[in-house]
Amino acid sequence: MTNRRKPHIPKTASKVPESEQWISRTSGRIASDGYSWMQAVHWAHDRGAYLVGRSHGPRRIGRTTLRLAQELSRLTPCRPGVDYLARVLHISPRTVKYHLGMLRETGLIAYERKGTRVRGRGGRASEFLRTIPAAFDEALGVRTGPSERLIRSVRGISAGGRPVMKRLGAKARRRVPRRSARRTTRATSAAARCTPMGVGSGSSSSAGGIPPESKLVGVRGRDSPARAGGAVPRRRLNAVGRRYQLAAQLVESVDWLHRASVPRIAWIVRCVADAGWTAAEVIALLDHVPAPWPVRRPSGFLARRLKGAHLLYDTPAKREALVAAVAAHRQVAETEQHVPVVTEGPWRQPDSPAVTRHVEAVFARLRQDDDGDALEAFAVGEDGLVDLHQLSTDEIIDLRAAAQKDPALIRTALAEYGEAYTRRLFTRALVDQVERLSNCRQLALHCLGGRL
C-alpha cells in the first residue's frame, strides 16, 4: 500500500487586484454553467485560506459565502441586487457586500458591468460573470484550451484530480442550509438520573448509602437544564438593540413612518432611546402638535420633532405628564366627534310629558304675541300692486338705500312689477345704473390712472 502525499493547504492567499476584477482583465475562465462554478466555489471553501489585505469584514469563505454563491449560480444573467440577496438570505446588506467582495477577490466572479446610480432612473445593479480561477485548474490538473465564448474551455483532467472533482461535484449538488440556532444542553449526572440497584441478602439494606428521596429531587432540580414552567431566559438588549426596538415600534405604530427604514429611524431616535423613552412617550410627543399631511420626508420630520426632546422631558415624571395630557386631549376630541348633530326636520312630540307641557306653553304664548302685534295688510289696486302712497317717507328711503347696496332688489322688482313701477319706487337713476351694469360685458378697474 502506497501512502499518498496530502496536498499542501496554504494558510494565506493573495487576493485579486481590483484592476483584474473585470472580465476583460481576469486571468480565470468563464464557467460554462452554475454546477461547474459551484465546484470551484467549494474548492476555494475547502482550502480554508485567509485573504491577505482585508482590513475589515470576513477574510475566509464560509457558510454564508456558499449560500450567496448558490443564489448567484441560479441567476441568468448574474445581476443580483444587494437588497434582493439580503432579503432572500436573511442577512444585512453590508454582509452581502462583504461576501461579494470576497468572491471577486478570490477570482470567482468578475465585473461585466458595474452598477451605478442614475439620477431620475434609480440605481442599477452590477452584472457579474461567474469565473473559475486559474489556481483551480492548476491544483486539479485541468487541461484547458482557448475559447472565444469562455476565454478557455476544458479539454481534460488528470487522474489525480478526478476524485477531488467528484467530491466537489457531490458538494455542489447539495444545498447549503441556513445555520440554525445552537441548542445548549446540560448533561445530568448518572447518580441523579439512575436508581442504584443492589442484590444480596443480609441484615444490611442495599440502599443504605442512598440519600432520601427529597434530596434526590433537589439534586434533579439543580442539574436539570429546564426551568420551572419551561421559560428560557431572554438576552438583555444593549443600547443599540434598544434603539432598533424603539425604531421598529415607531415604524409599526405611526402612520407616516410605515415606509421609513428601521436602521435610519434607529439612528434618529438614539438620544431618546438612550434616555429610556418608550414608544408611547415618543408617540405622545409627536401627537402633541398635529403633523402636516402628507409628510414628505418622514425621517427628517421625525428628527426635527425629536431635536432636544430628551433635554426638555428629562425625567420620567415629565414624560408621564405629557402622555396623560395627550391622552386627555384625544378623549375630548373623540367625545366631541361622537356628539349627535341636530339636523333640521319635521317636529315630533317629545317623549317626556313635562317637556310636552313646556313646549305647549311656549307655543300658546307665541300665538298670543302674534295675535296682539298683527300688522295690517296694504291695500292692493286693480293691477295687483301696492299703492306707493301707503308707504311712509322713511320706508321708501330705506328701500332705496338697500337697493344701492344690493342691486338684486331692483332686478327682482323689474322682473315682478315692471319697469314703470320700479322706476317710481327706486328712482330712474338707480334703475338706469343697474341696467348699465347688467349690459356691460367688461368691468375695467382703474387704479392710479392705469388699467389693471
pLDDT tens digits, one per residue of 27-68: 899 998 999 999 999 999 988 766 666 677 787 888 999 999
Mean pLDDT of 437-443: 59
Using 50, 70 and 90 to split pLDDT, how confident is the model at 202?
very low
Nearest by Cα to 161 from 145, 183, 139, 180: 139
Using 50, 70 and 90 to split pLDDT, how confident is the model at 123?
confident
pLDDT at residue 30, rounded to an integer = 93
Task: Provide the residue count of the chain.
Answer: 452
Sign of the CA dihedral running 172, 177, 178, 181: negative
| CA torsion angle 213 219 225 230 (round to 10) | 50
pLDDT at residue 29, rounded to an integer = 92
Using 50, 70 and 90 to split pLDDT, how confident is the model at 12?
low
Q: Measure the CA–CA gap between 167 and 173, rounded to whole angstroms.
A: 10
Sign of the CA dihedral running 304, 306, 310, 312: positive
* Environment class of 74 (CB within 10 Å of its CB; exposed 0-12, middle 13-18, buried 19+): exposed
Alpha helices in 184-315 (DSSP H): 190-193, 213-223, 239-253, 262-268, 270-274, 279-288, 298-306, 309-312
Q: Measure the CA–CA gap between 229 and 218, rounded to whole angstroms.
A: 17
Q: Measure the CA–CA gap between 104 and 128, rounded to whole angstroms.
A: 9
Choice between 197 and 107, residue whose per-residue pLDDT is larger: 107
Lowest mean pLDDT segment, chosen from 25-34, 66-75, 383-392, 441-450: 441-450
pLDDT tens digits, one per residue of 280-334: 999 999 888 777 778 888 899 999 989 989 999 989 999 999 999 988 888 887 7
pLDDT at residue 377, rounded to an integer = 53
Q: Would the pTM count as exceeding 0.85?
A: no
Choice between 87 and 350, residue whose per-residue pLDDT is larger: 87
| Cα Rg of the chain (Å, integer) | 46
pLDDT at residue 290, rounded to an integer = 76
